[in-house]
Amino acid sequence: MRIRLLAAAPIAALTLAPFAAADPAPVTGVELNQPAGQVVAVEAKFNLTSDQDTAMRELRKLRGDMWDRNVAFDGMTLRQAAAKQGLKTRQAYVDAAQYDAGLSRVALQRGAEATQFFRHERPYNATCTANCGDTGTATYKGKAGAGENLHSAANMGKAMQDWGYGEVNDLVRANGHFNTGNGHLHNLLDPQLKRYGFASVVTAEGEASVTAAGWTTAGSERIEGEQNTVLHRPANGRETPNTTPKKLVFGGSSPRDIVAIITAVLTVLSVLSALYKFVEPLINQAR
């Protein structure tokens, strides 16, 4: 099973190009980048409450550990970079990272899109009129994330480990500068990024985990508990828009889960076949 990870660097606060807000997606409330009729509906399951608990626990642990190690960050030490933002103690730096329900909605919307189009770009078709693929168009009440982490498994604990401790050596080698090998960790440690939203989602098209990070809050309206619902993503290219949901199967299993189940069944059948060929002569003799 191949795991994929992608990190987008934080966007400079003063260089965001203006864009026209489109209709909000049902459930997430996050603005689409094209009219509401130009969407694909997919059955989905997720639990943002569980994701929050897991991700914030792991984020605080990671920030504390990296403070203790005083790793390189942007050409200086992490403690020096934090002090520039007024965070002069370990506790202040760890506590500066706060959960944001609005950014979790953004992360959920981007997760619904990334299960089919795993890249730091939103799907879109010819009806999109401005900054079509820009992830900055994924706004909740006008607020967007600044940095984004993507993981191809809907497992927030694994995602946080891979985004975090899995990239420490790359961060050190780069003297703390953002690159493709450490970008997820850089986004999680950045003292300027103080608000975080998280979502792991399984849809009829696949699965993904997402972090949306920002400077300020995008909202406090939470989506609580385990959800089995329909999410909507922008239709892409010449894809036909369809509001009839694509169905989750086998009790909400993702396509990856289904492949794993089929593979396991075929493996068991293969083993049983080999075993039968071995014991068949003994059975015949016993007759």
Instruction: Work out the number of other CB atoms within 10 angstroms of the CB of residue 17.
Output: 10
State how far the Cα of 149 lies from the Cα of 162, in Å rounded to an integer: 11
Report how far Cα 100 is from the mean position of its chain's Cα atoms.
Answer: 15
> Does 272 or 23 have the greater pLDDT score?
23
Residue 13 has pLDDT above 50, yes or no: no
| Domain containing residue 206 | 5-250
Residues 267 and 209 in one domain: no
Average pLDDT over residues 61-79: 98
CA 22, 28, 29, 32: dihedral to nearest 10 degrees? 0
Residues 200 and 58 in one domain: yes
Produce one character per residue of 230-261: b if its CB has 16 or more CB atoms within 10 Å, e if not. bbbbbbbeeeebeeebbebeeeebbbbbeeee
* pLDDT at position 15: 32
> Does 9 or 106 have the greater pLDDT score?
106
Residue 135 has pLDDT above 70, yes or no: yes
Residue 77 has pLDDT above 70, yes or no: yes
Contact 213, 196 (CB under 8 A): yes
Tally of domains within the chain: 2
Residues 167 and 270 in one domain: no
Residues 198 and 265 in one domain: no
Band of residue 280 on the pLDDT scale cut at 50, 70, 90: low
Contact 161, 267 (CB under 8 A): no
Residues 73 and 125 in one domain: yes
Using the structure block, give the residue that is written with the tokens 């300027």.
Answer: 192
Residues 148 and 33 in one domain: yes
Band of residue 8 on the pLDDT scale cut at 50, 70, 90: confident
Global pTM reads 0.85
Average pLDDT over residues 196-221: 98
Residue 271 has pLDDT above 70, yes or no: no
Residues 146 and 284 in one domain: no
Residues 153 and 280 in one domain: no
Residues 30 and 148 in one domain: yes
Residues 281 and 169 in one domain: no
Per-state percent for the chain, helix, strand, coil, to nearest 5: 40, 20, 40
* pLDDT at position 181: 97
> Does 81 or 269 have the greater pLDDT score?
81
Residues 99 and 57 in one domain: yes
Average pLDDT over residues 248-262: 56
Residue 151's CATH number? 3.40.33.10
Average predicted confidence (pLDDT) for the chain: 88
Residues 214 and 114 in one domain: yes
